[in-house]
Every structure is written in structure tokens, then in C-alpha cells.
Amino acid sequence: MATVFYNPFEDPQHPPTTPEYKTEVVDPLLYTDGHVKRPKKSWLLHILCFSLHAVLIGLHVLLLFVWFTHFEHKVVVPIGKKGNILSTAIVQVSQLFATIYLSVLIFITQQLATRRNLHERQTLTATHDNMSAWTGLGAALMALWRQTTIAATVIGVFLVSAYFVCVGVLSITAPALFSLQPFNTSRHSVISTTLGPPNISINNLFWLDSTPVIPYLSHSDRISKIGLENGTLYDVLSNNNGEGEVYVNALTFNVTCGFVDGVSITPIPNTGNWSVDTVYDDHVQPIPVLGELSSRNEGTVSHCHYHKAPNTFKWLPYYNYNFRDPWRHALFYTSANITDSNGSKGNPVSLQPPMRPGTYMKNVNYFDEATVYTMQVIGCTITLINQTAVVDAQTHLLKRVYPSGRKTSSTWSQWNPETIPANAKWWNLFDQAATSRFPSTDDCPGFPWSNPDICNPLTVVEQFVMEDLGLHSILLDSPVRPAPVIALHDLENSIASATAASYWAALYAKAGGLKNDDPYNVDNVNNFKVEAMAGNATITYPYTAMRLNINLIPVAVGLGASIGLLVLAYQVVGKPIAGDSGVDTIGVLQILWLMRTRPDLQRVISEVEEPSVDNLRRTGM
């Protein structure tokens, strides 16, 4: 039989401790009656506990919202040392914050749960198991396992174990909430460009130096003539590492042609020449440009009859015609069939008699095909369209331009430019352009010609237009080809392309460079000068960087664990206890103090012969 000890510190209001009171192991360790003054309700600690749990949930909800909107992607750092430091800092700071925050949660929740256990009416074993479970996750799982032998407080220990499991989950998910993710991005930079149109400050003779390259441009691929696309000149990018599309300036030559009304083309009697008569300013302007060339040779007069070949396009040297805007206008004549979008052929002039082949053509079997029955005089006006072009950053090639300057339809109308005394300018291009090796007369034998003036060769600009339109003259040494029908808008586009090609050639062929560099020719210094004008464009450079990224799975798992912590905290903490003693932990001092207040429990435990855990737990039941 166990010895009964006298406890001199026993509360005199309690009856003597005897074995008959053994059933009091189900009473709370601390009484909450009103005989002893207790601390006030611990509302502040409860509010702090649940507030911290709610804040933890709110943080995860906020992270979920940020992930949905991807606001975190605005935090961008370069790849390298800075990115490595930030990546490490994110993990360490997240882990440190989670450790401190969860430690505070466990500390406050454990204190409140201990107070509740000490005031709860339950078996001594249940109190022991609940208090042991709060030692840590391992102790909680061990206490839960011991419930399989003696089920003192299965639910209570399970709640504490679940609480520690949720804390462990959060300690794992917290460092994984954020990461630095590599991604491809770009930055904008301003680079220099060469403007499409050149700055020309020279006399008109520079076209002779620059235009020989023009025929080759009509057959060149796009990469060989960057800055030129049909009738458009666009800015050329400098070398760069950018990618994508770049917006630059562009200039398109817009040509509009119409028929010249009141034109008569008649032979001049006894000369073999043909005269083109036009009516402007209420008077007739005759131009003897078509027909026979007379020349003296050793006192005799020889007549070389020649005529324009079919399917020919030529500039009309109408020098004494004056225009209000002299740069914009030029006259042409053609023996080709030019038809507009409505099927109209304009105002062709019938030749009476027709232009028949010359001396060298009389014995060919296509004599009739080489006869010209109609001619047409065309007046054209050029305007400039300022545009925005989109070019490829790497190839520098034009991708698109707007507004579009390329014509798709056109109709014949009378050409009536306003006139005042002035000097024409646009026609200088056609007048001063280099000559080609192709004659405009059908019976000019061989190349080189013995008398180039008789052959009246095409200029390279005229050659460009004819090749672009697919016009092939019926010449002495050429096969007969069907006469094509040329659309009026195609003619206008071709003239615009020839003009643009001429200015492009003037810029990149460096016309007149020798005279410009001649220090002894003072009069001609800067007289032959074509300058490239500088511009700029905004280009996009690609690069790989690191951006802050929120990982959805850790956030979702952490949110679930946070909600679980709040629910579990409410279950193990409960409401504030009336008359709370303030004892919130169990140590040696607290145990000694409890033995003074509960000597009956001391007697019960002292009856255990072998103090194993199972025996003590069985006795505590």
C-alpha cells in the first residue's frame, strides 16, 4: 500500500487527499473558481493568434492574385552575377521570413493550447498526451501512435499533429513561392539611318554619271538595292543586332499621265522629217524630232530615212515648254498600245502616211509589222508621297509601306498643266541620262553603230521603262514579238520606278566624285555633290533576362495549409478562458507548483510501481 504523504502547502479548503479521491484525475489541473483571483481573459493573445493566421491566408491570396495578373513579371534583372545574387536572396529571405513567422505562430498557439489543456476537464493522460504533442512534430506523431494502445485523446493529439504537418508544409512551400525565370525580351534603342532621298546640290550633268547603273537595277534582286523598292525610296538602317520590324521614313514618286490633246504628227514635205505640233498658251509649238536626218558628205546631200520602231517609248525634248511647277512635268511619245482600266486607248494620233521601215528594213519578211500607224504624246506629272515604311531589322528589306503609292488602276484624261515662264527640271533626268546600246529606230544595223545619231538610241531610263513594261521593239536584228497591251497604271508605275532608281543610283553611285575632290578646279568644287542625309529609327534589340515569377503550386498548397492552420488553431485554442491562471507552459517549476495545488494527483501517480510510459498513462486514465 502506498504511503500517504502530508502536504503542508495543501489548500486548506480542499479535503485531505486519500485514495477515495482517485477519481479526481479527470478534473482540470487548475481550478477556475472564484476563491482565487485569476488574470483577466487573454483576449489580446487570442486576437493576435487568429490575426496572424488570417494574415498568413491573406498573403497567399495576395500572391495568387499577383500570379493571375503577372505583376511580378515587371521585376526584371539581367542574367549574371546580379541575377544569381537576387535568386539566392529570394530563397533565403523567403525561408527566413517563413521560419520566423511560423515560429511566432507556434509559440502563441502552443501557449494558448497549454492554458486550455490545464483548465480542461479531462484525464491526466489526455492532458499529458496533449502537452507532449506540442513538443514537436516527432513527439506529436509519437503521441498519436500511443493512442493505439490507450486512446486518451485521439482527436486532440491528431489536431496538434495536423497543425505541425501544416507548419512543415509551409516551411517547404515558402522558399519555393518565388523564383527567377529566364525569358526572352527586348529593349528599344535609336540607331542611325541613311535617308532614302539624297541631298543633291549639283548641276544636271550628274545624271550622266549615275544613270548607267539603272538598267541593272531592273534585273537585280532586292538585297542588291536596299533602299529602293519600285517607285519608293526608304531609309536604310545601319548595321545592328536588332530583330523584328523597324519603322522608317519613305518617299514614293507618284506619276500621273494623261493624253496631250490637239497633237498633230505630220511629215515635213521634201525633208523626210516628222513634226509634232502641240497647242498650249493659245499657240502652236512645233518640234521636228521624228524623221530624217540630213547630213553633207563631200558636197553631196544624203537622206537617211529612219522612223521610230513599234513598241517604243521615248522622252519628248520639248525644251521651250514652261510649267508653273517645272520639276513635276515631262512629255513622252510612244508607238505602243497604252490602254487604261476602262479599256480606253487614250488619244492616239493616226499617221498619214504611216511611218514605214527604212532602207535596211525593205527586204525583211516582217515589213508590215515594222510599220507604225499611230503615235501618242503623253504628258506626265510627278508628285511626292511621304510614307511610313516597315523594314526588317536584319535584312533591311522593305516589308510594307503605307499609304501605298503603287497604282492598281488609272484612266485616260486630258493632260493640262498650268504654265508660267520657268525652267523645267524633271525632264533633265531623261535629257541627261546615259545612252544605252539599244536603238529606237528599226533599221539601225549592228553595234557599235557607224552613226549613232541616226539610230537615236534609248537612254538607260527609257530602257528601264521598256524592260519593266515588257516592250520589245521590232528592230533589224531582233525577232518579231506580239505587240503587248500596256496598262496605263503600269506605265505610270514604271516611270515612277525609273525616277526612284535614278535618285537611288545618284546616292550610291557617288556621281561626280572626281570633280568634287579636285582641289585645282575651284569653280567645280561642290558643283557635283550628292550627299547622304542622316536620320534615325527606333529598333528593338532582343536579349535574355531574368524575371520574378510566382510558382502556382507552392502558392496553392501554401494557401490550403494556411487555411488548415487557422481551423486547427481554433480547435486547439478555443475561446478565452475565464479566470485564466496565466500558466502557459509546463516545466519543472510549473510541475512543482501543480503538485502543491493538486496533491491528489501526486498520490495517484506515486502508486505506480514501474514508471513506464504505458503504466503511467494507464494510471492517468
Say which amino acid occupies 278: T
Helices 137-146 and 124-133, axial angle in degrees (round to 10): 150
Residue 234's closest CA among 194, 191, 192, 189? 194
Residues 129, 239: one domain?
no
Instruction: Give the torsion through C-alpha atoms of 337, 342, 347, 350, to 10 deg.
Output: 50
Examine the pLDDT at 594 and tell me if it is beyond 50: yes
What is the pLDDT, as a whole number, of residue 331? 82
Residue 578's closest CA among 111, 26, 34, 121? 34
pTM to 2 decimals?
A: 0.62
For residue 7, is it within any domain? Answer: no
Give dist(CA 618, CA 612) in Å, integer. 10
What is the pLDDT, as a whole number, of residue 142? 77
Q: Which residue has the higher pLDDT, 589 or 301?
A: 589
For residue 538, is it within any domain? Answer: no
Say which amino acid occupies 7: N
Question: Can the peptide bond before residue 353 be classed as cis, meaning omega within 30 degrees of 0?
Answer: yes
What is the pLDDT, as a whole number, of residue 9? 40
Least confident of 6-15, 41-50, 487-496, 585-594: 6-15
Residues 506, 607: one domain?
no
Arithmetic mean of pLDDT, 562-569? 92
Residues 514, 567: one domain?
no
Examine the pLDDT at 290 and tell me if it is beyond 50: no
**Count: domains in the chain:** 2
Cα 418 to Cα 26, 321, 429, distances in angstroms:
119, 11, 21
Residue 53's closest CA among 545, 598, 568, 620? 568
- Residue 451 — very low, low, confident or very high, per pLDDT cuts 50/70/90? low
Examine the pLDDT at 613 and tell me if it is beyond 80: no
- Residue 359 — very low, low, confident or very high, per pLDDT cuts 50/70/90? low
Residue-wise DSSP of 520-565: T-GGGTTTS-EEPPEEEEEEEEEEEEEEEEE-HHHHHHHHHHHHHH
What is the pLDDT, as a whole number, of residue 288? 41
Residues 6+ positions from 123 with CB-CB distance below 8 Å:
25, 26, 152, 153, 620, 621
Paired with 398 in beta bridges are: 391
For residue 2, is it within any domain? Answer: no
Least confident of 234-238, 370-374, 425-429: 425-429
The pLDDT tens digits of the residues spanning 67-111 come to 999 998 888 888 888 888 888 888 899 999 999 999 999 888 888
The pLDDT tens digits of the residues spanning 162-205 come to 898 999 999 999 999 998 888 888 788 888 888 888 877 655 56
Examine the pLDDT at 144 and tell me if it is beyond 80: no
Say which amino acid occupies 3: T
Please state, rounded to an integer, the average pLDDT across all residues of the chain. Answer: 74
In the 8-state DSSP scheme, what is residue 216? H
- Residue 555 — very low, low, confident or very high, per pLDDT cuts 50/70/90? very high
Residues 84, 231: one domain?
no
The pLDDT tens digits of the residues spanning 59-79 come to 999 999 999 999 988 888 888
Residues 331, 459: one domain?
yes
CB 81: neighbour CB atoms within 10 A? 8
What is the pLDDT, as a whole number, of residue 269? 73
Contact 163, 565 (CB under 8 A): yes
Q: Of 479, 498, 532, which closes a domain?
A: 532
The pLDDT tens digits of the residues spanning 21-63 come to 444 455 555 545 544 444 455 678 888 999 999 999 999 999 9
Residues 6+ positions from 588 with CB-CB distance below 8 Å:
none
The pLDDT tens digits of the residues spanning 310-332 come to 778 888 776 444 444 446 778 88
Angle at 583 between CA 580 and CA 587, to 5 degrees: 165
Three-state secondary-structure class, residue 182: strand
Cα 327 to Cα 56, 294, 334, 384, 429, distances in angstroms:
78, 34, 22, 11, 10
What is the pLDDT, as a whole number, of residue 279? 63
Residues 176, 203: one domain?
no
Q: Which residue has the higher pLDDT, 213 or 273?
A: 213
Instruction: Please return the burial class of 20, using the count of CB atoms within 10 Å of its CB with bins 0-12, 13-18 and 19+.
Output: exposed
Residues 504, 610: one domain?
no
Give dist(CA 22, CA 123) in Å, integer. 11
**Domain residues for 136?**
19-181+546-620
Residue 531's closest CA among 206, 125, 162? 206
Helices within 413-543 (DSSP H only): 427-432, 452-455, 460-469, 488-508, 513-516
For residue 370, is it within any domain? Answer: yes
Contact 236, 194 (CB under 8 A): yes
- Residue 287 — very low, low, confident or very high, per pLDDT cuts 50/70/90? very low
Residues 525, 551: one domain?
no
Q: Which residue has the higher pLDDT, 217 or 479?
A: 217
Q: Which residue has the higher pLDDT, 191 or 428?
A: 191
- Residue 445 — very low, low, confident or very high, per pLDDT cuts 50/70/90? low
Residues 256, 153: one domain?
no
Least confident of 80-94, 337-351, 517-531: 517-531
What is the pLDDT, as a whole number, of residue 169? 93
Examine the pLDDT at 153 and tell me if it is beyond 80: no
Q: Which residue has the higher pLDDT, 370 or 460?
A: 460
Arithmetic mean of pLDDT, 611-617? 53
For residue 8, is it within any domain? Answer: no
For residue 84, is it within any domain? Answer: yes
Residues 6+ positions from 230 with CB-CB distance below 8 Å:
406, 493, 496, 497, 500
Examine the pLDDT at 584 and tell me if it is beyond 80: no
Residues 177, 206: one domain?
no
Give dist(CA 54, CA 49) in Å, integer. 9
Q: Of 498, 532, 566, which closes a domain?
A: 532
- Torsion over CA: 444, 449, 451, 453 (sign): positive
What the block records as the C-alpha cell of 148 is: 493505439
Residues 151, 203: one domain?
no
For residue 34, is it within any domain? Answer: yes
What the block records as the C-alpha cell of 584 is: 502557459
Helices and strands (H, E) in the chain, number of each type: 16, 23
Contact 307, 357 (CB under 8 A): yes
Give dist(CA 309, CA 510) in Å, integer. 35
Three-state secondary-structure class, residue 141: helix
What is the pLDDT, as a whole number, of residue 573? 85
Residues 264, 161: one domain?
no
Examine the pLDDT at 480 and tell me if it is beyond 70: no
Cα 77 to Cα 80, 85, 185, distances in angstroms:
9, 10, 11
Say which amino acid occupies 503: Y
Contact 197, 499 (CB under 8 A): no
Examine the pLDDT at 334 and tell me if it is beyond 60: yes
Paired with 387 in beta bridges are: 250
For residue 14, is it within any domain? Answer: no
Examine the pLDDT at 374 and tell me if it is beyond 90: no
Cα 343 to Cα 335, 372, 421, 470, distances in angstroms:
17, 21, 36, 19
In the chain, the percentage of residues whose pLDDT exceeds 90 is 20
Q: Which residue has the higher pLDDT, 269 or 550?
A: 550
Q: Of 532, 560, 575, which closes a domain?
A: 532
The pLDDT tens digits of the residues spanning 122-143 come to 676 667 767 777 887 777 777 7
